[in-house]
Each structure stands twice: as C-alpha cells, then as structure tokens.
Chains A and B, each alone.
Chain A
Amino acid sequence: MSREKKEKKVYQTPAEKRKNIAFNILAVVLCCLFLFPIYWIVVNSFKIDSEIFAKIPTLWPHEFTLKAYGEQFGALGTTLKNSIIIAVGSLVISMVLSVPAAYGLAKYKIKGGKFFILIFLTTQMLPASLVLTPLFLIFSNLELLNTYLAPILSTATISIPFVVLMLRPSFLSISTELVEAAKIDGCGTLRAFFKIVVPISRPAVITAGCFGFVYAWNDLAYSMTFNTAENMRPMTSAIYTFMNQYGTKWNSIMAYGVLLILPCVIIFVTMQKYIVEGLTSGSVKG
C-alpha cells in the first residue's frame, strides 16, 4: 500500500522529528480526553457514597473501596449468567449461519447472489425498534417471552448481516486453487470448508465471533422487551432498572457498568487490529 513508502520517511530531518513529537503529544492528549468517560466509569466505581454525593467530584477516590461492587448486586450472579447465555447462544447461531453464508457469497456464483447481499445490507440497517412490536406478539403467541430463546434469536439478527458482510471480502481473497486442490486430495466441500477455508481466515472468523458476542452482550432493546421477569434479565436491562430506582447512586451504577464493559474491553484489547479492520469492512462493503 502507498503508506509503506511513507513510513520510511519518518525521522529524516530535525524539523520532522520535532513535528513527530508534537503530533504524538497532541495525539496522546486527544486520546486521554476521548477516553475520559471510560476512566470516569472505572474510577467512580471505587468511591464511597459520601464522595459520590460530595459537591465537588474528585478525580481520584479519596477512599478506595470495593463496596459499590458488593452492594445492591444480590442478583448479579443471575443477570451475569443470563447475559452470558444470551451472548453465547446468539454467537453460536450467528456463526453457524453467517460464516457459511459469507463463504457461499464469496466463492460461488449463484443466481441472486447480489440480491442476497442486498438483503443483508438492508436488514443490517433496520433498527430493533421496527420489529420489537411484531416480534413481541409473535414470541408471545409462541410462549417464548421470558425464555432465553427470545433474546438469543432476536440478537442474532443484529450480528448475522454484519458478520456476512465482514467475512465475505476475506473469503474472496482465499485462492480458489487451494480449495480445489484440497478437494482433489479427496476432501468434500464441507470438509474443505472446515479444514482449509476456516483455518486460513481464522483471524477474521474469530473477529466475527467477537462481534457476534459483543452485539448480543450489548443489547438492551430486545432483552428488555422480551424478558421482563427479573430472573431472566441480562445485565444491560438490570442496570437500567437499577438506575430507575436509585438514579443517584452513581458508584453502584458505575460498578455495574465496569462489569458490563469488561468483556468488550478485553476482547478489544486482545483483538484490536482485527476488530478495527473488521469494523470497516463489515459496515461499508459487501
């Protein structure tokens, strides 16, 4: 890529060196400003009540405490379990369906292929609020409300189109000869898919899995609407309910927030490079 040429030029003259330092400082400052909300979530989760209610907020807790994590979270175990079940269930459905679909769209010239891509592009843009009412009525008739299935099935619809669109370009780049060669060696299509295609694109597939998990983990609209019983709620709707009751207990709210963002942050930090790439290809192009 054209960038490569550029990299070599860095640090040539003292002027450029100074510029490099200045830009780096500016970038770090911008970054700190930008990430401040995340810092604010974490730091406030360690404060005691009186510090939260103090007139002047403190940038660092005077008294470091884990109390906010212990309090109010009687049902934390349940909501955490629910969040995990919903996110993993949704992840499984979306991977089982969208990885083959992305491959099929990339490697097989099928009639209506373009139309299918269009379907994914359009459905990706449609918000949950469009289908909440009909899905609620449908799930209600199927007696699926307040089961794990309702949020699992519905959140999978968020990640499927994204994953298909994100994986298709990386499958396009796999050489057809490689797959054909494997088939010649006696591999069936499906085996070739699992033995050759998936391993070659492992980073992309894992990234896709991360998105599948995160989309369901982050969901509020579907879970809140379909699972109203307290013991079936995931963490997102539990924190919302908690806020409605104790809107000013910010330390407890933020403690819950830390637990909610934790998996996203872990996934992001370990997979940053792939995620940033995946985000671009999954959102824009087919």
Chain B
Amino acid sequence: MPDSPFQIGGIAVKKREKGRWVGYAFVLPAVIYMLVFIGYPIIYNWVISFQDATAYTLKDAGRAFIGLTNYQTIFADPTFARSIQHTFIYTIGCLIIQFTLGFALAMFFSKKFTLAKPIRGLVVISWMLPVTVTALVFKFMFSQDSGIINTILMNLHIIDEPVGWLLSGGTAMAVLIIANSWVGIPFNMLLLTTGLNNIPLDVYEAASIDGATKKQQFFMITVPLLKPTIMSTLVLGFVLTFKVFDLVYVMTGGGPVDSTEVLSTYSYKLSFQQFQFGQGAAAACVLFVCLFIVALIYLRTISKSEVD
C-alpha cells in the first residue's frame, strides 16, 4: 500500500516503524555471516586452546580438556616471549616510520602544485598489491649476493662489502619494518591528508596575519586540530601492523632461527607445521587479547568523534 504523496512529513516516522523489518533484512545477513565466520571461530579458538588438540585428535568429537597445559607449554617456550617482544618492536618501528613519513608526505602533498593530487594518488598503489609479492621483491632487493640495495650502498661507499640483511636478526627486522612501511606510508598519508583537508584555511590565514611562523602554525594549529585524526591513524596503524603475518612469513619465515618470529607466525607454525592446534590456538588467544585492548582504545577514540 503506497504512502500518500501528501504525507511527506510523516514518511520518516512511518519509515522508522514499518522500515524496521526491512532494515534488519538488509543488515542481518552480513552481520550473521561475520558472526558465523569470525565471531564463532574466535570463541571456538578459546575452547581449542584448553583442549588436547593435535593432528592425532583432529577428528575426535570429544577432545580432552587439559586446562591450562597449552598455555603453560607456550609460556615455557623462550621463543614465545621473544615473539611477543618482536611483535612489539616491529609494530612500534613501523608506526614511527610510517607515521612520520606519512605525515611529512601528507603535508608535502597538501601544498598547491600541479602534480600534487595525481602523484599522491599514485603512491597508494603499494597498498593494493598482494603482500606476498611485496615481501618477495623486498627480499630480492635486500638479498646479499644479488640485491640492488647492497650494490647501491657499495657504490655510495656506505658499506664495504655486501651485507646479509636478512641473515641476522637485527637487520632482518629492520628490512621487515622498511617493507611494511612501504605499504603503510601511503595509507597513513591518505588518512592524514583527509584530516588536513578538514582544517579550514582561514585559521592559517588569521594566524599568519598575527605573525605566526610556519613552525608555530604547525604546532599550534595543525597538530591540535588534527589530534583526532592522528589518534585514529596511530591506533588503526597499530592494529593493522600488530597482526602482521604474510609479510614475515614470506620474507623471513620468522628466521634467521627465530629472530623475527612474531606472534602470528609463531601461532601458525605451532598449528600448521607442528600440528599442535591447542598450542597454536593458545598463542592466537594471546594475540587476540593484545589486539582487543588496542581495539577498545580505538573504538573509544572514534566514538568520540564519530557516528550520528
């Protein structure tokens, strides 16, 4: 029964009443899908982490509950502690590089010049590429014997002989951070550009009339006004970096030895190389707790600035 054309004012009210069903019908399938394929597995993951789940018990309906044994096992493993440490080093390293350079680029591309917009758009391509390929090309560029980076650095006389970048822990981690920043910088830049564009120009004009220097303008106007964007960029960056898997798995496989092992690769190896599903799930739960805390902070940040 069509609504009468003369009841425009009443439509919104009616929509809210009658529309509720339709609204749910639109929204719920996707919500249910996510709950089934992400929500349920996360809960199930907790269950597995308390079970004796290995390759041998894979098909057993009732796997034995073994309490905290899986957690005890991984907490006793020195590699686990190291992988937590590596995850944080990696995340913080990436955040520093991609945020500062991303910010610098955002400032640079917000200047008025002909190619600003096209080039700003172009660099975003690194974000679209499969991480697998990114990892491979960086591995190639940083390889000791045929890598371009060694050749360049040797020609510039910065190093005397080829460095085995991926062959020792510290440099391997540095290369991972560089490779991830290649993907992260344009992303940070984009988010910050959006924020910068929302700062009205007249604020700067007023400030420069008052005699504020560029530096003062940056710290007194740009940074404070950008604070919500900065916060959400950092937190989002943290979450996206902390969950790293593909990049580390393909580039170093956690090696050499275990010097670049991160939580997600550690969990993966337990589950799918040693088939200790219970222990792999336990490691994943630790990862979950870390992410959950940061996600909560993130949600609080955006709910302040966000949503109707």
Contacts and interface: CB of A to CB of B under 8 A. Distances in A.
Check whether chain A touches chain B (CB < 8 angstroms).
yes
Interface stretch (B88-96, B129-137, B167-175, B215-223): B129-137
A69 interface: no
B243 A121 contact: no
B48 A27 contact: no
Given A6-B112, A236-B130, A236-B132, A133 B280 contact: yes
Nearest to A281: B194
A164 B265 CA distance: 29
Contacts of A54: 146
Contacts of B108: 23, 26-27, 30
Contact of A108 (B22, B194, B197): B22
Contacts of B137: 37-38, 40-41, 254, 257
Interface in B1-52: 2-3, 5, 8, 11-12, 15-16, 19-20, 22-27, 29-31, 33-35, 37-42, 44-45, 48
23 contacts: A30-B108, A34-B185, A38-B137, A52-B146, A100-B29, A108-B20, A108-B22, A108-B23, A116-B31, A126-B42, A129-B287, A133-B48, A136-B271, A137-B44, A164-B30, A177-B8, A221-B249, A265-B125, A275-B128, A279-B127, A283-B187, A285-B302, A286-B302
Interface of A: 1-3, 5-7, 9-10, 19-20, 23-24, 26-28, 30-31, 34-35, 37-38, 40-41, 44, 52-57, 93, 96-98, 100-101, 103-105, 107-111, 113-114, 116-123, 125-138, 140-141, 153-154, 156-157, 160-161, 164, 176-177, 180, 183-184, 186, 189, 214, 217-218, 220-221, 225, 236, 239-240, 243, 248, 250, 253-254, 257, 260-261, 264-265, 267-268, 272-273, 275-276, 279-280, 283-286
- Which 9 residue pairs are nearest across A and B when measured between Cβ atoms? A108-B23, A104-B26, A127-B243, A101-B30, A129-B264, A104-B27, A23-B113, A134-B41, A218-B130
Given A27-B108, A154-B37, 18 more contacts: A6-B112, A7-B112, A20-B114, A34-B186, A40-B148, A53-B146, A97-B29, A100-B30, A101-B30, A113-B27, A121-B299, A126-B243, A130-B288, A180-B3, A218-B129, A239-B132, A272-B121, A275-B124
